[in-house]
């Protein structure tokens, strides 16, 4: 099933590195969630994702399918031309950017509008860290944080939380005393000039709680990192099943919860939540295109086992280099097409239903969810 | 492999809705474990299970494959005729009914004997709730509950517990003091005229403990809800691995533990338990027919990876509408046939072994286990 | 893809039973992780692994594919000839033996050199139990245990821990007080003449901690039992994700952690750890050959989804009978060949890459890791 005519809504991605930042950035590191030197310089090159991607990038850039040749071609073509080729081949209609990832090394969000219509996802931990750095009293912080959540930039179409990376998805109702204590600890770090890192459970939980309240008020979806990611994350606490108390909370029933990254390897668990809760959605990003074809197919199949098609979203989770946007778009269309064909062959869907499902997953569901 | 000649033993299902109860029952809600309005009225219709089932039900009822047409055909044919067609096409020999699900809205258990030989599964939480409502002292309740478990109706061939829905499968040896306190709390609810809901961990655990003791004495199997279900359930605590202390308990070694619903998504975990414990059995119901074909195939394949064929049971988990019995029977035979064929092609089983496996899973294992 | 020309490095197996011990050993029990009488005498024979293996062993021994005929053929051919046939057909270059499994009933480690080059894996819990039995003071034990770890027999190329079986993989920094108390409790057992079994969490954790320190010093890998095994094990605590604190520990970054048995069913979890941590490796043993072909394929595919090929190791986990070495070798080559072919057909790897991957997984990775 050829899905190349469907313009994509990429519901979760990140900004591109600025060319000057790219200079001290190891290109292979964009292809792994690991960050240890040995992973980045050696083991990543032994993954199927890296091997397959080198061939596909080489074809796009017109060079030999070797890392060295690709690096030379990128240099020769220049940043803008590489980006132009990747986005032209990808075919996005809208891209939602979480611009809180490596914020001081990436291109401005609005710059990406040349490739597709761009909307913002507000990464709430980054916002909180900035405000903690700037404001010394709890009262001032609390007021500023709430104000920022409740009156975001009009380009913001949703929130994004990385609490899974910091203190895990088993979020508890925040205890005011503990929250303030955590804030004071972080302020002391700030005053000593240390880098601020929001990783105090009561305060992280409070940040999520505030986000859900603002999202309820503004009717905006909240994206949760779930499942695999870099080793900063304890995968045990990135299982979306831990979100149950929030999903059951009467105050948050109108907030769409978007479970990112196919919650890999908790993909069936995520699909179950999206099947029984009206306000839960699942996403294919990172699983596509970072896995083998078998792995990408697993994610799509696992969702289709139980999850309503109206709840499945597409994204690339592309970041830093334009090639990931290209690869995510290419493999999103291709794997989805293959699995939908398989579904038609088995008699689970008709051709018409499968074609409609492709359009829903790649574009329509996200347009409706984010009111694009 | 055509398994249509094998009469089925459905080792776990529920009673049909009475026609008058069916009037205020949303038909699509029988096709999802969700119960929120938006799921039942909208999202369920976007699942593969719903789409596929509409086509198959329409064919059986002789109408257009649309929800509206099916509802009209059901009205036109009448409850008894729809039920007759479904059961005739299904081909059951014996059906075990857990008649504690929506007990005041369903047909009497013995009524179902017109379709197949019917035996009962005693849902112990329902029994306990009834007795708590009727008896004000702990002593009276304890005696009555034990008596009811130890001298059940002769039609009862096994017990069923939904403790996974209430307080989870991590069952602890009950502390007498805490059990009585929980009983008193429930009695107070009863006296205030509130609906009684057994959801106090010590008391729920005590109920399971009593059940296992009675099951040991009577040599009856105990069915455990495991894995997915409606969102009343915290899926983290429905993992059958939590049953380990009970499985290891020297007093309960002679009780067959039946893990229902392929423990989806903990299917491999369940299959492992059935492989290493002589008294653990696994079941395919709900996974078949509520998943995509890929999902149903996953459940069968996952069990065959490690689990003895003598430990795998078939059921439909059908409830409320006769169509689910038909769909469960149809897909049970079909998917099992397909996977066994695959196993023969691979050389894992001979044709004779595969044919025997089909008969064991669809019929013989349950006949032996429940002494039918 | 025919991989029969690649000599295998079996990076984890156990010694063969002595012929006189084999007499009171139930042959089918070698084909299951269960040990209850009913499993060993009956249910194991209903698994795909047993059925398939009977046919393959019968072919190798030249007899009818029935258990009885195989037992007769083994008797007729004799232990040495059966072993000779199995190892000749298997084609090992090196075998690493954990010789702490049933140590008083098996052949000496060096005896196995007739079949392949043999190296030792030191099972640290067995070592600790021996020393606890022999030494009455904590100080003497501590010194002897550390000395044994730090100056092992030159044949030792790695350590092996079965802490997953005893007190689980959630290993905590050992508290000296609790460790000594546990030691005293075990000494009392020893003095009462009871069998010593290392299953006191503080002491088991201490044993692992000492092992990791010695491994750091000696630059030796440490193999961890993870995932399924006999029911002595609580599968909840055999999930390799529980190792996170050790993997993140700055002191243990240079120790290669080898996660055995495809961590089944936590195979994707293990693959993730090996993808993001430079010092984590995964292994296919036990999953191959103890599962159906679908199950073995699952393990290989799940690793290839995300894990660098340089991190995947082959083993048989064969134990007690030579047939398991033959079956592990046969199925390791065959399933890996099939999945790599599938990967080539999909375009995920080139033929050259796939051939190289086979050699890496079956041989080269282990040679490098253990400096063979």
Q: How far is C193 from chain A (nearest CA, A)?
A: 42
Q: Rounded to an integer, what distance in angstroms lies between the CA atom of residue C26 and that of residue B162? A: 39
In tens, the pLDDT along C188-199 reads: 999 999 999 999
Instruction: Indicate the residue of B301, B308, B360 with minimum beta-carbon distance to C47.
Output: B308
Q: With CB atoms and an 8 Å threshold, state whether A292 touches C275.
A: no
Contacts of A349 in chain B (CB under 8 A): 48, 51-52
The CA distance from C93 to C91, in Å, is 7
Cβ–Cβ gap B309/C235 under 8 Å: no
- Residue A41 token pair: 């310089």
Q: What long-range pairs does A114-119 form, CB within 8 A, spacing at least 24?
A: A115/A83, A115/A87, A115/A325, A116/A10, A116/A87, A116/A92, A117/A93, A117/A372, A118/A94, A118/A155, A119/A94, A119/A95, A119/A155, A119/A156, A119/A157, A119/A370, A119/A372
Per the prediction, chain C carries an average pLDDT of: 97
* Chain B interface mutation, best of A238, A299, A305, A342, highest count of B Cβ atoms under 10 Å: A305
Specify the pLDDT at position B251: 97
pLDDT at position C22? 81
Locate C346 and state its tokens. 């999909």
- Say what the pLDDT of residue B311 is: 98
Name the residue in chain A with its Cα closest to that of B296.
A305
Question: pLDDT at residue B24 above 80?
Answer: no
Report the DSSP pairing between strands C156-161 and C117-123. Answer: parallel
Which residue from C minimizes the CA distance to B267? C265
pLDDT tens-place string over residues B81-102: 999 999 999 999 999 999 999 9
C200-223 per-residue burial string, b: 16 or more CB within 10 A, e: under 16 = bbbbbbbbbbbbbbbbeebebbbb
Residue contact A278–B49, C-beta within 8 A:
no
- The alpha-carbon gap from A129 to the nearest alpha carbon of chain B, in Å, equals 32
| C-alpha to C-alpha distance for C277 and A230, rounded to whole angstroms | 9
Nearest CA in chain B to C288: B305
Q: Residues 6 or more apart from A19 whose CB is under 8 A from it? A: A79
Which of A275, A279, A343, A344 should one mutate to test binding to chain B, selecting the residue with the greatest count of B CBs within 10 A?
A275
Pairing assessment for the beta strands A8-13 and A92-98 based on DSSP bridges: parallel
Nearest to B304 among C37, C38, C292 (CB): C292
Q: Determine, for residues B310 and C46 on separate chains, whether the beta-carbon distance falls below 8 Å.
A: yes
- CB contacts of C38 in chain B (<8 Å) are 278
> How far apart, in whole angstroms, are the C-alpha atoms of residue A138 and residue C109?
67
Q: Tell me which chain B residue has its CA closest to the CA of residue A311.
A: B43
Q: C147: distance to nearest CA of chain B, Å? A: 38
Which pair of structure tokens corresponds to residue B68?
Answer: 């509206």
Chain C residues inside the 8 Å CB shell of A236: 239, 241-242, 244
Chains in touch with B (3+ beta-carbon pairs under 8 Å) read A, C
Chain-chain contact of C308 with A43 (C-beta, under 8 angstroms) = yes
Q: How far is C59 from chain A (nearest CA, A)?
A: 34
372 residues of chain A, pLDDT tens digit each: 999 999 999 999 999 999 988 877 899 999 999 989 999 989 999 999 999 999 999 999 999 999 999 999 999 999 999 999 999 999 999 999 999 999 999 999 999 999 999 999 999 999 999 999 999 999 999 999 999 999 999 999 999 999 999 999 999 999 999 999 999 999 999 999 999 999 999 999 999 999 999 999 999 999 999 999 999 999 999 999 999 999 999 999 999 999 999 999 999 999 999 999 999 999 999 999 999 999 999 999 999 999 999 999 999 999 999 999 999 999 999 999 999 999 999 999 999 999 999 999 999 999 999 999
Q: What is the pLDDT of residue A1?
A: 93
Query: Is C276–A44 a contact, with Cβ atoms under 8 angstroms apart?
Result: no
B-chain residues within 8 Å CB-CB of A241? 234-236
Below-70 pLDDT ranges, chain C: none
- Test C42 with B241 for CB contact under 8 angstroms: no
Tell me, letter by letter, the H, E, C secondary structure of C100-160: CCCCCCECCHHHHHHCCEEEEEEEHHHHHHHHHHHCCCHHHHHHHHHHHHHCCCCCEEEEE
First to last CA, chain A: 26
Which chain A residues are within 8 Å of C305, Cβ to Cβ?
48, 291-292, 294-295, 298
CA B92 – CA C163 distance, rounded (Å) = 48
pLDDT of residue B21: 85
CA-nearest of C194, C190, C177 to C136 is: C190
Could you tell me if the ipTM is greater than 0.90? yes
Contact C228 B310 (CB under 8 A): no
Reference B186, options B109, B134, B123, B231; nearest CA is B134
Instruction: Mark yes or no for CB contact C306/A292 under 8 Å.
Output: yes
Neighbours of B75 (CB within 10 A): 10
Nearest Cα of chain C lies from the Cα of A339 at a distance, in angstroms, of 14
The tokens for B159 are 């017990």
Chain B environment of C295 (Cβ under 8 Å): 301-302, 304-306
C289 upstream amide cis, omega within 30 of 0: yes
Give alpha helix (H) positions in chain A: 19-22, 37-41, 48-61, 67-77, 79-90, 124-134, 138-150, 163-166, 176-191, 201-218, 244-248, 267-276, 287-290, 293-306, 322-346, 351-359, 365-369
Contact list in C for residue B276 (CB cut-off 8 A) is: 32-36, 39, 230-231
Would you state the structure tokens that stand for residue A153, as one six-digit string? 């930039």
Contacts of A45 in chain C (CB under 8 A): 308
**Domains of chain C by range and CATH?**
8-16+91-369 (3.20.20.140)
* Residues of chain C positioned with their CB less than 8 A from the CB of A234: 241, 244
In this complex, do A278 and B228 lie within 8 Å of one another by their Cβ atoms? no
Minimum-distance CB partner of C349 among A48, A234, A291: A48
Are B348 and C38 within 8 A, CB to CB?
no
Question: Which of B45, B56, B168, B231 to mutate to probe the A interface, most A CBs <10 Å?
Answer: B231
**DSSP code at position B318:** -
Contact call for A265 and C272, based on CB within 8 A: yes
A58 and A66 Cβ atoms separated by less than 8 Å: yes
Q: How far apart are CA A287 and CA C10, in angstroms?
A: 32
Neighbours of chain A (3+ CB pairs under 8 A): B, C
Degrees to nearest 5, angle at CA A115 with A109 and A116: 80
Residues of A with CB under 8 A from a CB of B: 239, 241-242, 244, 247-248, 268-269, 272, 275-278, 301-302, 304-311, 342-343, 346-350, 353, 360
Instruction: Measure the N-to-C terminal CA separation of chain B; round to a whole number of Å.
Output: 26
The torsion angles phi and psi of C24, rounded to 5 degrees, stand at -100, 35
Of A33, A292, A298, the CB nearest to C276: A33
Residue pair B240/B258 in contact (Cβ under 8 Å)? The answer is no
Q: Do B47 and A306 touch (CB under 8 A)?
A: yes
Q: How far apart are the CA of B230 and the nearest CA of chain A, in angstroms?
A: 7
Q: How many residues does chain A have?
A: 372
Query: Taking CB atoms and an 8 Å limit, are A275 and B234 in contact across chains?
Result: no
- Which residues, at least 6 apart from C221, have a Cβ–Cβ distance to it below 8 Å? C157, C158, C159, C215, C255, C256, C257, C258, C281, C369, C370
C241–A231: do the CB atoms touch at under 8 Å? no
Q: What are phi and psi of A153, to 5 degrees?
A: -40, 135
**E strand or H helix that includes residue B85:** helix B79-90
Place of tokens 């009978």: C321
CA of residue A141 relative to chain centroid, distance? 27
Chain C: nearest CA to B92, how far in angstroms?
25
């Amino acid at each position: 099933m050829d899905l190349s005519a469907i313009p994509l809504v990429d519901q979760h991605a990140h900004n591109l590195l600025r060319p000057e930042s790219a200079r001290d950035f190891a290109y292979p590191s964009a292809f792994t969630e690991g960050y240890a030197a040995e992973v980045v310089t050696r083991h990543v090159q032994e993954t199927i994702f890296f091997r397959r991607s080198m061939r596909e990038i080489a074809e796009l850039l017109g060079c030999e399918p070797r890392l060295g040749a690709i690096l030379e071609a990128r240099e020769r073509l220049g940043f803008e031309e590489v980006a132009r080729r990747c986005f032209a081949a990808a075919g996005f209609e809208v891209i939602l950017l979480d611009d809180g990832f490596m914020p001081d090394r990436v291109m401005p969000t609005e710059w990406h509008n040349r490739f597709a219509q761009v909307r913002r996802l507000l990464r709430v931990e980054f916002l909180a860290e900035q405000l903690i750095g700037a404001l010394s009293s709890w009262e001032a912080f609390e007021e500023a944080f709430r104000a920022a959540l409740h009156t975001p930039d009009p380009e913001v179409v949703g929130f994004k939380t990385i609490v899974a990376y910091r203190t895990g998805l088993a979020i508890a109702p925040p205890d005011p005393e503990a929250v303030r204590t955590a804030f004071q600890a972080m302020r002391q770090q700030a005053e000593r000039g240390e880098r601020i890192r929001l990783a105090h459970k009561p305060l992280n939980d409070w940040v999520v709680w505030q986000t859900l309240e603002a999202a309820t008020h503004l009717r905006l979806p909240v994206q949760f990192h779930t499942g695999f990611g870099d080793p900063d994350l304890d995968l045990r606490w990135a299982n979306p099943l831990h979100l149950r108390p929030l999903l059951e909370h009467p105050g948050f029933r109108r907030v769409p919860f978007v479970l990112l990254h196919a919650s890999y390897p908790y993909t069936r668990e995520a699909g179950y939540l999206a099947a029984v809760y009206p306000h839960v959605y699942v996403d294919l990003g990172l699983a596509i295109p970072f896995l083998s074809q078998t792995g990408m197919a697993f994610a799509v199949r696992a969702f289709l086992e139980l999850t309503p098609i109206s709840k499945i979203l597409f994204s690339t989770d592309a970041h830093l280099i334009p090639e990931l946007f290209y690869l995510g778009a290419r493999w999103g269309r291709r794997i989805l097409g293959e699995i939908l064909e398989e579904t038609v062959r088995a008699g689970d869907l008709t051709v018409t239903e499968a074609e409609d499902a492709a359009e829903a997953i790649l574009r329509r569901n996200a347009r409706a969810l984010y009111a694009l």
